[in-house]
Structure 1
């Protein structure tokens, strides 16, 4: 089965069809104009002869009239005359080649018989008389018709040749014009997981393809970035799971090297259970992020008073803050429609993160600003500032702003902020981090939905 035609073939056929139509229309118009011009010339000639014949036959006897007629008609070989009486009886024929049947209506008409064509003009000999003999002038226009026929054949030949020439030129032009598109196909065809850094030369592309090339380059950039993140994510997962797995294997092997008491086995199992619980939490967090990446997080909307939700969390973290000698506070109030559990998890991650990096005697503050179209919630903590170049990566998975701050325990894998951003975005909001003047602030902006 034949596949679809190439773009070059389609353009070539389109050019050929357009040229053929234009040429045909021009030829038809020229042919009609030529035919109308010949009719006008023939009419002028016949009307001039009619006037001469009327003067020649004015008040003459039959013999004199015939001599005058022959003299007038002898001057133009392609002209013939028929005279009929008012009763329709034929009086005179200047030639035996005059067709037997001629139109009776007055005025100009065209008659074809055998291989000859005639322009016929019917008119009375004496227009002022009611019963006047009728003159029929015939002009042989066979040579005119042959000229028009040759011109029509020339028109068809011109149409065919111009269509063929345009098709060939159109195909050549289309192939040259589509060369950048083929180059784009070659470059994109070579893109693979190992060559996502390939880019199309936008500066060398025509204006019509430059925007497409820019879009493809942007897509390749996003794919490259996503692939690099995925590779780093896979490496981070392997790195995060390798340590607890090695601990489990080592601890289990050591425990099984010799007979131990029931209490020792119980302690070993309890230690392994902690590692397994952390690994289970890590896997659950990764599954949660995977759902967020595929847009599967669907918050349950219910009216929430943010001040109450924040106060519940501050009460939960109060013992930890007291042990670390950190002051907790909340300012402002606001309401929106959102998922209570998801928003509590997001704010809990931010408060936990703030408490871990607030020095002794520092402050953690939660500010709520209720605006017309949105609610702004900021979680601020005093302490060491985060360098500006690291702020954009804070929400990446497994990223830690300061590797030196990593705890010896593996309970914080660097997924908290990534999960928080996924929850905020699922609610249609945005989150960002600012760090300056001894304070680090995570600012959340959430749209306010209509409350029932």
Structure 2
């Protein structure tokens, strides 16, 4: 069974609401008109009742009534819409001004009745209000024209309700279709999105207030998809770029080796050369798998109590020989305790120290500061990093040194990306600050 569209539902809802309002208003008007006619009839019957009581004063039997009948008939002849019935206290009819009148009402007062196709409003009261056994006087007013008016009004009400509902449904469908045009536009944009049209955006300024937030959210989603696709495209190109050089080296080296017969020692040296390239490629693949696990939230640190001062000192001792060759001073300040994964944190700090050693000028200093609140700062002296490069330092395969663009067996540009993934896996964050001749990598970890 096909579901109703949102436009159809709103149109039907508008029609139902309009029909309900029109019907309620019509019924109220009809009821008010009916009460108005009853009041007019009651007033008219009351006025004529007073005249008849004066004319029939003293009538207490059919005989006395017979003496008044000529005058009474003359009076009634001038009032074609009025009929009269006079009966005894026991209900015996003494006089009826016309034939075909409805049966007497069992209760005194105002009543509505029908007889021979004529509608009557009747008023039954004692002829002499002071007498205990007074004759009964019933005035009957022909209200057929009133009833026809009310019946016509009821038909008009139903016709108005039907036409109003139909008109509202049609106008509502048109208004809803026009009002839902931004939704259709959103659907068209969503349907047109593909790898080549991720730059398409919804015109938020032209959207109604209710849809502006949704349009902004969709634009944000498209922007994130575009960024992710661009990163993925760049990532694929970077992988191909990084693997091209070692693969080319392997092919060339192997082809040269096979051009002529060689000694066992020469073949051994060739295999050792190939092994270095293969080891670098294996490390690159392992690093990429590591980052893929981080992207999917699969890096689960094995937390244990760590003395950061001890861990940093061990790393500084490891890099002491390289620092001495580069004439760079290594220094650690402060203390700190942390619950974290020792291999992962050592790898992150090692990447930062290796990066600092490569960019610290001769005679410079690398300082690791452990601050309260689990804040680790790895700073190195030297020229500031370009502001554009700072924004991309943690991107994969990005190298701040423009001279290092080809695949290298030393650095593939993944160290800082891995460091950020490790810090984020521990629930922390990392940022770069460049000022006063120092470049600082600031790590902030949550307190356990």
User: What's the TM-score once normalised by structure 1's chain length?
Assistant: 0.91
Say which of 108, 111, 118 aligns to 2:113: 111
Structure 1 counterpart of 2:433: 434
Deviates more, 1:139-148 or 1:329-338: 329-338
Aligned to 1:270: 272
2-side partners of 1:408 and 1:168: how far apart? 68
Q: Distance in 1 between matches of 2:165 and 2:399?
A: 70
Q: CA deviation at 1:106?
A: 2.3
Decide whether the 8 Å contact of 1:335 with 1:370 is kept in 2. no
Higher mean displacement: 12-21 or 437-446: 12-21
- Cα deviation code 1:264-317 (max 9, x no counterpart): 222222222222222111112112212222223333344443333323322332
Judging changes above 3 Å, is the alpha-carbon distance between structure 1 residues 431 and 134 closer, same or farther for their aligned structure 2 residues? same
| Structure 1: unaligned runs, 5 residues or longer | none
- Is the alpha carbon distance of 1:268 and 1:156 closer, same or farther for their aligned partners in structure 2, counting shifts above 3 Å? same
Which position in structure 1 is the counterpart of 2:30?
31
Question: Would the aligned equivalents of 2:429 and 2:445 in 1 still touch at CA under 8 Å?
Answer: yes
TM-aligned CA distance change 1:157 to 1:381, over 3 Å: same
Please give the alpha-carbon distance, in whole angstroms, between the structure 1 residues aligned to 2:400 and 2:195.
Answer: 29
* Aligned ranges 1:224-373 → 2 under 5 Å: 224-371=226-373
Aligned to 1:82: 85
Does the 8 Å CA contact 1:104/1:122 hold for their aligned counterparts? no
Q: CA deviation at 1:445?
A: 1.6
State yes or no: 1:91 paired with 2:98: no
Shift of 1:220: 2.1
Question: Could you list the per-position Cα deviations for residues 351-391 of structure 1 after superposition, in whole angstroms to 9, with x for gaps in the alignment?
Answer: 111122222322111112213xxx22111011222111210
Q: CA deviation at 1:409?
A: 4.2
Tell me, in whole angstroms, the C-alpha distance in 2 between the residues paired with 1:29 and 1:44: 22
How much is the aligned-residue C-alpha RMSD, in angstroms? 2.3
C-alpha spacing 1:32/1:303, structure 2 compared with 1 (3 Å):
farther
Rounded Cα–Cα distance in structure 2 between residues aligned with 1:49 and 1:338: 107
- Partner SS, residue 274 of structure 1: helix
* Partner-residue secondary structure (3-state), 1:95: coil
- Measured after TM superposition, the shift of residue 68 of structure 1 is 4.1
Who is 1:201 aligned against? 203
Please, what TM-score do these two structures have when normalized by structure 2? 0.92
Task: Report what 1:420 is aligned to.
Answer: 419
The structure 1 segments of at least 4 consecutive aligned residues displaced by more than 6 Å after TM superposition are: none
Q: CA deviation at 1:404?
A: 1.8
Say if 2:241 and 2:406, in contact at 8 Å, map to a contact too.
no
In the alignment, is the contact (CA less than 8 A) between 2:123 and 2:140 conserved in 1? yes
C-alpha change, 1:418 and 1:49, in structure 2 (3 Å) is same
Specify every segment of 5 or more residues in structure 2 that has no aligned partner in the other structure, as ranges: none
Aligned residues: 444
Please say which of residues 261-270 and 224-233 is displaced more in the overlay.
261-270
Corresponding position of 1:133: 135
